[in-house]
Structure 1
Amino acid sequence: MFTPSDIFNIDSKKEFDKISLKLFRFQYDNNEVYNQFCSLLNKDKTNVKRIEDIPFLPIQFFKSHAVLSSRETIEATFTSSGTTGMINSKHLVTNVSLYEDSYRNAFSQFYGNIEDYVVLALLPSYLEREGSSLIYMIDDLIKLTHNPDSGFYLHNHEELIQKLIALDNTGQNVILIGVTYALLDLVEKQKFNLKNTIIMETGGMKGKRKEMIREELHEQLCNGFGVNAIHSEYGMTELLSQAYSLGDGVFECPNWMQILVRDTEDALTYIESEKTGGINVIDLANINSCAFIATQDLGKKYKNNTFEVLGRFDNSDIRGCNLMVL
């Protein structure tokens, strides 16, 4: 079986590929849903030799099936947000400590020691529902700062404005993580000139505002907060790991996560760097569910393994992957 040190101490592509193939074999044997899906593609342990051979489970299966590679007790159920009438994804997590190890190690990899920061969170759409994996993560990071100034904000914008200005003026390193529409609401009320604060946007407009292209959005946020770049977090309910962008919408994965880009017309074929296709994610922290997921996002990957997210599939249908009744 796998230990956290196997996953979070990966330091080379060769090691990543080796553990990915080992985890594929484990999940093929222990995940009934994934095994059925692989069988329909005529894939098994004998003909999967490279990570490019591994079948990627369409993310919609988390809406319709219990995607589990473990018979251990379920410790947490993370659910996706959605409008009334939509079926939400459910990620059944049998080992929450794997999730904690993943986001803590990823934060350290990209930002350093959490205790060097005050973390402020403006996440109304997430706070107002149950089962958000993002809220679980941010709540834990807030606690790990050991700073009484860290905390959540809902609609108390005036209090947040005063806190941001006061902290920034003292030279305190601050991360403000916010859902996109709430950050726009904030800069419409107050124009900032922040010198020591990282602005990190996550999620979209959640139906609160019209969608914007990234360049326009980041320009408005940079101007509003007085910063040079907007950071972003790329995560989802079905993953236990996150990629981060430190600016310009270009994301980098932690060492135990990787992106592949598939052809939009043929889900089993991969395309060249810098061409647009569907994003497949390998998340090795997903030991107890499925580590190989075909998302509904469109993007492009670059030769240095960074990537951009460019949009979503219409109707969220992944062509070529609807082989099982959802």
Structure 2
Amino acid sequence: MIPSQDIFTISSAKQFEKITLKVFRYQYENNVIYKEFCDLLKTDKGAVKSLEQIPFLPIQFFKSHEVLSSVEPVQETFTSSGTTGMITSKHLITDISLYEQSYRNAFSEFYGNIEDYTVLALLPSYLERNGSSLIYMVQDLIELSNNENSGFYLHNYDELISKLLELDAAGQNVLLIGVTYALLDLIETKKFQLKNTIVMETGGMKGKRKEIIREELHQILCEGFGVSSIHSEYGMTELLSQAYSLGNGIFESPSWMHILIRDPEDAITYVDPGKTGGINVIDLANINSCSFIATQDLGKKYPNNTFEVLGRFDNSDIRGCNLMVY
């Protein structure tokens, strides 16, 4: 087993690769589903010597299988949102402290001390269901902010508007974290000129509005909130780590998370920097489930390891991801 302090104190690409290969071997030996998947691809565990040689488990497996690399009891089950009748992903968590370490350390890395912020959360569609990993994280950040003004807002926009105006005018550092459609609803109710507020969108129209491209969305949000940039969080039920964009839709990952871009036509080949392909995520915080996830997102990676999310695959476009779907 790899100690968590090794995961969260990575300081170089060489160290990341060394620990990642250790995690690969550990999960091959301890995760029944992942081993079966690797064996179907005829992966020789001993021959895997680089990140690019590691097989990435298609994210759909979290809908059809229990993806576990641990025999410890399950402490939490995070589930994805979905429309009625839809099969949702389940991420079984045997050590919730890994998730807490991951988002607390990442927040500190990108934003500094949480106690310097008032955290206002506008996440209605997440609050209205159980099992959201985002709500778990934001609830904890609200508590860690140690600020009586921090809290969740559901549909009480008038209350949120007056609180936001009051805090921003008083010079408080505010983090407004919201699901996309609710942020749009808010600025249709009131136009702002915020000076001390970071607006962070977590993505998703959740079927409430028509999807629009990021550039257009961020322009509308910038104008509505009177800010120069919109921050974004890239996370999902199947991951215990998040990447953050501090503006312009360009994401950075914490040191224990890494992105590779696969060829959309060939799941085991990678494209050059700047080319569009499928996003593969290495998330070492997923030590007890699977750290190697082939997502259904499309993106581009740049030479400095930042990346962009451009959209999602249509299901019919997934290549090489139908193994073991039974």
What TM-score, normalized by structure 2, do the two folds share?
A: 0.99
* TM-align CA RMSD: 0.7
SS of corresponding position for 1:267 = strand
Q: Aligned-pair distance for 1:325?
A: 2.4
Residue number in structure 1 paired with 2:93: 93
Q: Aligned-pair distance for 1:3?
A: 1.5
Q: Aligned-pair distance for 1:261?
A: 0.1
Residue number in structure 1 paired with 2:278: 278
SS of corresponding position for 2:274 = coil
Q: Is 1:64 aligned with 2:53?
A: no
Residue number in structure 1 paired with 2:228: 228
Structure 2 unaligned runs (5+)?
none
Task: For 1:142 and 1:291, locate their aligned partners in 2 and report how far apart those are by CA, in whole Å.
Answer: 28
Task: For 1:16 and 1:219, locate their aligned partners in 2 and report how far apart those are by CA, in whole Å.
Answer: 36
Superposed counterparts of 1:79-228, under 5 Å = 79-228=79-228
Question: Does the C-alpha gap of structure 1 residues 316 and 83 become closer, same or farther in structure 2, counting only changes over 3 Å?
Answer: farther
SS of corresponding position for 2:232 = strand
Q: Is 1:33 aligned with 2:33?
A: yes
Structure 1 unaligned runs (5+)?
none
Q: Aligned-pair distance for 1:85?
A: 1.4
Q: Is 1:6 aligned with 2:11?
A: no
Task: For 1:72 and 1:323, locate their aligned partners in 2 and report how far apart those are by CA, in whole Å.
Answer: 28
Q: Deviations over 1:134-155 (max 9, x none)?
A: 0000000000000000000000
Q: Deviations over 1:28-57 (max 9, x none)?
A: 000000000000001132121111000000
Q: Deviations over 1:17-36 (max 9, x none)?
A: 00000000000000000000
Residue number in structure 2 paired with 1:76: 76
* Partners of 1:259 and 1:301 within 8 A in 2: yes
Task: For 1:284 and 1:294, locate their aligned partners in 2 and report how far apart those are by CA, in whole Å.
Answer: 14
Q: Letter of the 2:237 partner, please give it.
A: T
Question: Does the C-alpha gap of structure 1 residues 19 and 115 become closer, same or farther in structure 2, counting only changes over 3 Å?
Answer: same
Counting aligned pairs with the same residue, the percent is 75
Task: For 1:146 and 1:44, locate their aligned partners in 2 and report how far apart those are by CA, in whole Å.
Answer: 50
Task: For 2:317 and 2:299, locate their aligned partners in 1 and report how far apart those are by CA, in whole Å.
Answer: 16
Q: Aligned-pair distance for 1:317?
A: 5.6
Task: For 1:23 and 1:33, locate their aligned partners in 2 and report how far apart those are by CA, in whole Å.
Answer: 15
- Structure 1 runs of 4+ aligned residues shifted over 6 Å read none
Residue number in structure 2 paired with 1:50: 50
Task: For 2:323 and 2:293, locate their aligned partners in 1 and report how far apart those are by CA, in whole Å.
Answer: 15
Q: Aligned-pair distance for 1:322?
A: 1.1
Q: Aligned-pair distance for 1:316?
A: 6.7
Q: Aligned-pair distance for 1:320?
A: 1.0
Task: For 1:262 and 1:316, locate their aligned partners in 2 and report how far apart those are by CA, in whole Å.
Answer: 16
Q: Letter of the 1:319 partner, please give it.
A: R
SS of corresponding position for 1:215 = helix
Task: For 2:114 and 2:316, locate their aligned partners in 1 and report how far apart those are by CA, in whole Å.
Answer: 36
* Partners of 1:58 and 1:318 within 8 A in 2: no
Task: For 1:147 and 1:4, locate their aligned partners in 2 and report how far apart those are by CA, in whole Å.
Answer: 29
SS of corresponding position for 1:247 = coil
Q: Letter of the 2:100 partner, please give it.
A: E
Superposed counterparts of 1:282-301, under 5 Å = 282-301=282-301
Q: Deviations over 1:38-97 (max 9, x none)?
A: 000011321211110000000000000000000001000000000111100000000000
Q: Aligned-pair distance for 1:321?
A: 2.1
* Partners of 1:74 and 1:93 within 8 A in 2: yes
* Partners of 1:296 and 1:316 within 8 A in 2: no
Task: For 1:317 and 1:206, locate their aligned partners in 2 and report how far apart those are by CA, in whole Å.
Answer: 22
